[in-house]
Amino acid sequence: MAPLPGLGPIGIWSNKLQTDDPDDLGRLRDAAAELEELGYAALWIGGSPSLAHAAHLLAATNHITVGTSILSIWQHQAADVTRQRAALAPADRERLLLGLGVSHARFAAQYNRPYSAMRDYLTALDTAPEPVPADRRVLAAIGPKMLRLAGDRAAGAIPYLVTPEFTAQARTALGDQPFLGPEMKAVLDTDEARARATARDYLTGYLTLPNYTNNLQRAGYTEDDFTGGGSNRLVDALVALGDGQQISTRIEEFRKAGADHVAVQIILPPEQSYPELLRQYRELAQALPL
């Protein structure tokens, strides 16, 4: 395996790493700087981010990698993305990983032939006046064809909502050299029943999206596993539950399965807030080999 240069083994994935509210920018920048200081290797911006969101984090930090996870190819034209990337300072361009994905038919009216659309989008990035190099882009690939595309025309893959077992299969599909950086969900709570309830509340929406359920069915899960926020076996496969050491152990399972990097997404109960998320990433940092 050949990790991307300078990218350590553990990063953070969160849709709270973006904001369009100018009043929230100061808090976000302070959080990004602290997470960098804690030793995390990357900040992966969830929630269909733009390059403008990435620019805020790049401005607030010095060396950490910033990735979009994922930038929807339906929402952002390739020509706009290449211009926005070119406007960044050269050092910031080198810290940016452009994570691209096809999203879901439910969220994109123009959704059609996603594999072909992604292939054409990559061609547009290649042929732009200021191209995005293949080694600075990664694909949110979970299907076999998209995984092959990620290895052939990008630095690799950043699969979402996957297990260590899937990661091993993805490594085989990609081969040894391409980057593989799966997202991993975690609930930092030692009360098993409560932790599963938190996980189920979060998973419910994802388990109605065919791109994800089709992938899970390929792994042997059935419709019965998708009801009520997920069966126990599905929840336990998709979400690391417990204390920092248990979460660290699950990260190691992903690494042994072939991941170069794991993007950890801490899930909170709905009533808990942004400060609690930051507190938990601090706590988790104490248990991880950052």
Contact at 8 Å (CB) between 223 and 174?
A: no
Q: Is the pLDDT of residue 1 over 50?
A: no
Q: Is residue 219 part of a domain?
A: no
Domain that holds residue 82: 10-187+243-287
Q: Which residues contact 191 (CB under 8 A, 6 or more apart)?
A: none
Cβ neighbours of 39 (radius 10 Å) = 13
- Band (pLDDT 50/70/90 cuts) for residue 117 is very high
Q: Is residue 225 part of a domain?
A: no
Q: Is residue 178 part of a domain?
A: yes
Q: Is residue 213 part of a domain?
A: no
Q: Is residue 233 part of a domain?
A: no
DSSP sequence for 149-179: HHHHHSSEE---S--HHHHHHHHHHH-SSSE
Q: How far apart are CA 19 and CA 51, in angstroms?
A: 12
Q: Is the pLDDT of residue 102 over 80?
A: yes
Q: Is residue 92 part of a domain?
A: yes
What's the angle, vertex CA 33, arms to CA 22 and CA 59, rounded to 5?
55
Residue 274, pLDDT score: 85
Q: Hey, what are 125's tokens?
A: 């990035």
Q: Where are the alpha helices (DSSP H) in the chain?
A: 25-38, 51-60, 78-86, 90-95, 114-127, 144-153, 164-174, 192-206, 210-218, 223-226, 232-238, 244-256, 274-285
Q: How far apart are CA 272 and CA 279, in angstroms?
A: 11
Q: Is residue 270 part of a domain?
A: yes
Q: Is the pLDDT of residue 3 over 60?
A: no
Residue 2, pLDDT score: 46
34-90 pLDDT, tens digit each: 999 999 999 999 989 999 999 999 999 999 999 999 999 999 999 999 999 999 999
Cβ neighbours of 27 (radius 10 Å) = 14
Our count of domains for the chain comes to 1
Residue 288: HSE in the Cβ half-sphere, 13 Å Cα cutoff: 25
Q: How far apart are CA 260 and CA 171, in angstroms?
A: 10
Q: Give the distance, in angstroms, between the CA of residue 104 and the centroid of all CA atoms in the same chain.
A: 15
Residue 86, pLDDT score: 98
222-269 pLDDT, tens digit each: 999 999 999 999 999 999 999 999 999 999 999 999 999 999 999 999
Q: How far apart are CA 249 and CA 243, in angstroms?
A: 10
Q: Domain containing 261 — which CATH number? A: 3.20.20.30
Residue that has been written with the tokens 């801490």 in this structure: 266
The pTM of this model reads 0.96
Q: Is residue 212 part of a domain?
A: no
Comparing C-alpha atoms, which of 3, 7, 13 is closest to residue 267?
A: 13
Residue 272, pLDDT score: 83
**How does strand 156-157 pair with strand 179-180?**
parallel
